[in-house]
Amino acid sequence: MKLNPAKNTGLRFTDEGQGEPIILLYGLFGSVKNFNPLIQHLRQSHRVIVPIFPFYEMGFCVDIFTLTRFLQEVTEELGLDHFHLLGNSMGGHIALLFTLKYPEKVKSLTLSGSSGLYEHGMGDTYPRRRDYDYIKTKTEMTFYNPEVATKELVDEIYATVNSRKAIQIVSLAKSTIRHNVEKELSSINTPCCLIWGRQDTITPPEVAESFHRLLPKAELYWIDECGHVPMLERPEHFNPLLDEFLSKATR
């Protein structure tokens, strides 16, 4: 996978495949790696773009809205004016804010384990951040199958929360909790697909049901034996559901 810096602005993103563009947005502890199986699948039929969020380059002022503006900058840099948008966890929250502000740009919206209503994360502080076993346990709780939380993944998260980046993480976590979008969802008329892990403990099933009730054009699909990141944990179920939705949204 090639990382593409924009020519004039220094924005970073991955850009693969051809066809209708779809932008994938990962969450606070995520990365492009969360989408590897999905990218390999979608690149056969779509142009797949993953913005690399500058979580830690923006200083202490970073919040959910600065990242939404960053997404807009990426779309302008790439000359995209109509595209599909998919977000997991905090990426879903950003996708919702972007769709609220630029509804004419978003052809379809897919949310999976999205924040924006309420969630149970690692918390907005890290009192035990130097406790490796604690971070390992919290990471494993992201998935139904704890083996998906590889040592590489746990090591990455442990290193992040024990670095100077922890301040930005706390800022972003508080930002997602503060900025609830419940009252705004009824104005989103974009076709929306909700694909949720039935055993998601971070944004549990009642969150998906609330999104389904509040979004006028939402379809809700469940994946059993699956946690907070279905496209990584159960791609064999996630990908066909997304394909079906995108085929309808493209007609």
- Directed axis angle between helix 151-161 and helix 132-140, to 10°? 120
What is the predicted pLDDT for the residue at 224? 98
Residue 63 covered by a domain: yes
Residue 205 covered by a domain: yes
- pTM value is 0.91
136-172 per-position pLDDT tens digit: 998 999 999 999 999 999 998 888 888 766 777 777 7
Residue 113 covered by a domain: yes
Residue 125 covered by a domain: no
Residue 59 covered by a domain: yes
* Distance of alpha carbon 77 from alpha carbon 70, whole angstroms: 11
* C-beta neighbour count of 210 within 10 angstroms: 16
Residue 84 covered by a domain: yes
With a CB cutoff of 8 Å and minimum separation 6, the contacts of 150 are none
Domain containing residue 85: 3-118+176-250
What is the predicted pLDDT for the residue at 125? 47
Query: What is the mean pLDDT, run by run of 10 residues, along the chain of 251 residues?
Result: 50 93 92 94 97 75 87 95 96 97 97 91 56 89 94 89 74 81 96 98 96 97 98 98 92 65
Residue 207 covered by a domain: yes
Q: The domain spanning residue 15 has which CATH number?
A: 3.40.50.1820
What is the predicted pLDDT for the residue at 56? 66
Residue 147 covered by a domain: no
Buried/exposed code over 63-95 (b: 16+ C-beta within 10 A; e: otherwise): bbebbbebbeebbebbeeeebbbbbbbbbbbbb
How many independent structural domains does the chain possess?
1
- Residue the block writes with tokens 């609830």: 180
What is the predicted pLDDT for the residue at 1? 47
Distinct helix (H) and strand (E) counts, the chain: 9, 8
